[in-house]
Amino acid sequence: MGKIGKISTIKKDYSVSGMQTMQGSLSQRGLTRIPGTGVFKYPYKEIDGKYRTGLDDKASYIKRISDPTERKIEEERVNKLKQKLQDALGGIDLGPRSPFWNYSLSTSTDDSLHVQPVKLMDGDNYFDLNVPLQELAFSWLRVHPTIASSYQAWERGDYPAETQFYVVDDDVENLVVFKKKVLINKAISKFDSMTPDKKKKVARLLGLPVTDSTTEESVYNQVDNILKQHEFKSGTFQGLSTVEVFNRFADMKENVLHIKDLVKQAVQYSIYRIKPTGKVYEGEFEVAADEDELVKFLSDDDNQDALLTLEGKLKMKKLAAV
């Protein structure tokens, strides 16, 4: 069987209010709009004048993908598809600024030098991806801002609640999920092989509430949970990939990791204060321009006295806290 692209309507539940409404009666029949009506879609033009073609690896929606793995998969996929479609359509320019995408330049309803609209109807809309023009239509529809990239994406709230269509593309979803899971599993395995002390240091640097008295099991569970969240929801690393940040600390040299952790704890125990400007203070005295500079300073062999002093102060603070 040939490969099929599918765009379906998002079925919504209107029974909550208990009122008899048109949306509700359509929904009871498995419909989302009046039979026979449809939505005409045209390739979306960004404010910068580029069209969202689904074939542009520099597109802003791709740049906005925060997860590097997902971004790379999408870049590779669109490049390959663009080349394939350009070859199939006789070398026509499918770049994001090509006049091909400007429907208003089309001279008739069968003008093949310009894109044609797609009328999406209620239910499932199929695209035979063995037919180049249908694959082309599916490529720009699947990145259209009014069509959710997947049902899950709509449920997550990545698209407005009133969005009516979503892309049913199990292959792409599966590939992304698979690659993410592989990376998460590798990170967990790396974490598993660390010493208990290093585990605590990494966990603290990830922003988790870990103290010297936290049990090893608790540290493991906290790190495992955060890695499976895909991205940080809050804190210093908000919006960043959890695996990427974890790897940054896990692959750090032991001494740098130790000092970074030390500084972090020193801030937690109020030995140092970081002002909104980023400057680090001890009491009223400015110690460093920022946290990184302090780490650099303490890593220098010439400043080992300062490092030992800081370790001593931290020990005292911890004892006092107990």
Partner 1 sequence: MAIQTIPGLTGFVYSRIASMDKRAVGKLTDANHLESFHSTEPADYDKKIISLYTQSSLYSNDFLDMINKSTPYYIDNNSDSWKWEVQVPCKFPKIIDIPASTLNLSKPGIDGQEFQVVLDTNEFSKNAVVSVGSRQYGPRWYVVKDPMPYNMGWLYTFTLVSDNPIVDYVSTTFLAIGIELELIDGVIGEFDQDLLGLPRLGEKIQMYESLGSAYGYEHKITEWADDKMMRDASGKPLDILVYAPQRRNQLPLTRNDIKWEPFIEFWMRKSMLEMKVKRMIWSKPGTVKTNGSKQELKRTSAGIYHRMRMNGNLVQYNRGEFSANLIRSVFGDLYYRRVDVKDRHVKMYTNESGFDVFQQALKNDALNSGLTFVADSGNRYMQGEGQHITYNWAFDAMVTRETGKVELIHLKELDLPQSNLEFGQNKKSTPVYMVFDVSPMSDGSMVNNIREVRMQGAPSMTWGYIDGTRHHLGFAKSQGMSSANKFPGYELWMKDRCDIFIEDLSRTVLIEEIPQI
Q: Contact positions toward partner 1, by CB under 8 A?
A: 1-2, 4, 6, 17-26, 29, 31-45, 47, 102-109, 111, 116-117, 119, 124-126, 128, 130-131, 146, 162, 164
CA separation for the pair 223, 187 (Å, rounded): 10
CA-CA distance, 129 to 304, in Å (whole number)?
A: 65
Nearer to partner 1, 11 or 119 (CB): 119
Q: State the amino acid at position 129 in one-letter form.
A: L
User: Which CB, 6 or 279, lies closer to partner 1?
Assistant: 6
Rounded least distance, CB 230 to partner 1, Å: 28
Phi, psi of 76 (to 5 degrees): -65, -40
- 7: part of which helix (H) or strand (E)? strand 4-9
Residues 263 and 266: their CA atoms lie apart, in Å, by 5
Q: Are 130 and 3 in contact (CB under 8 A)?
A: yes
**Least spacing, CB of residue 181 vs partner 1, in Å:** 27
| CB nearer to partner 1: pick between 18 and 157 | 18
Q: Closer to partner 1 at the Cβ: 33 or 190?
A: 33
Q: Least separation, in Å, of the C-beta of 236 and partner 1?
A: 32
Residue 107 or 195: the one with the smaller Cβ distance to partner 1 is: 107
Q: Which helix (H) or strand (E) holds 21?
A: none
Backbone φ and ψ of 96, nearest 5°: -70, -15
Minimum Å gap between C-beta 103 and partner 1 is 6
Alpha-carbon distance 118 to 11, whole Å? 21
Specify the pairing of strand 4-9 against strand 165-168: antiparallel
The candidate with the shortest Cα–Cα distance to 287, out of 275, 305, 300, is 275
The CB-of-175 to partner 1 minimum distance in angstroms stands at 21
For partner 1, give the closer residue by CB, 26 or 280. 26
Integer Cα distance of 188 and 72 in angstroms: 22
Phi, psi of 196 (to 5 degrees): -55, -35
d(CA 117, CA 103): 8
Instruction: Provide, rounded to whole angstroms, the least separation between the CB of residue 75 and partner 1.
Output: 25
Among residues 145 and 209, whose Cβ is nearest to partner 1? 145
